[in-house]
Amino acid sequence: MANNVNNNVGPKRLVVGAHYGMRDWLAQRVTAVVMVAYTAILLITFLTGQNFSYEGWAGLFAQQWFKLISAVTLFALFYHAWVGVRDVWMDYVKPVGLRLTLQAATILWLIACAAWSVQIIWSV
């Protein structure tokens, strides 16, 4: 990469090769681990929980640390979904225009979901 900077811009940009997509590959795995960790926290909370009414549920989300890890996990989910859904479009949708439209729509949709989840988490 570093030895030929000119390959990173314009029509000669390198779009195939060993490290192309490495960042997304890694991001997908890191976000996956975040989600597994959050699942474990939820499971422990459920198994040790006593108050299964609205107060208990809302009380859990009322704490700042839980709001934050919930938000981080949902953002991880949306990034993870972006990588996965982009792979699906790349595999099955061959016309470039349609694929680009679908990819753009996916990004906008996931950003909307992220905004919505912030609203939900900080509503309690």
Partner 1 sequence: MSEAVRVAPKKERPEFRNIHVTELSNYRMPLSAIVSILHRISGVIIFVLLPFILYLLQESLRSEISYAHYQGFVTYPLVKLIILGLVWAFLHHMFAGVRHLVMDLHIGLDKDSARKSSAAVLALSLTLTVLVALKLFGVF
3-state secondary structure 2-48: CCCHHHHCHHHCCCCCCCCCHHHHHHHHHHHHHHHHHHHHHHHHHHH
Q: Which helix (H) or strand (E) holds 65?
A: helix 64-92
Q: In whole angstroms, how close is the CB of 52 to partner 1 at the nearest point?
A: 11
Q: In whole angstroms, how close is the CB of 92 to partner 1 at the nearest point?
A: 10
**Window of 12-20, 41-49, 81-89, 93-101 that interacts with partner 1 by CB under 8 A:** 81-89
Residue 94: phi and psi, rounded to 5, are -85, -40
Based on the shown chain and the rule CB under 8 A, indicate whether residue 65 belongs to the binding site for partner 1. no
Based on the shown chain and the rule CB under 8 A, indicate whether residue 124 belongs to the binding site for partner 1. yes
Residues engaged in binding partner 1 (CB under 8 A): 29, 32-33, 35-36, 39, 54, 57-58, 61, 81, 84-85, 88, 113, 116-117, 120-121, 123-124
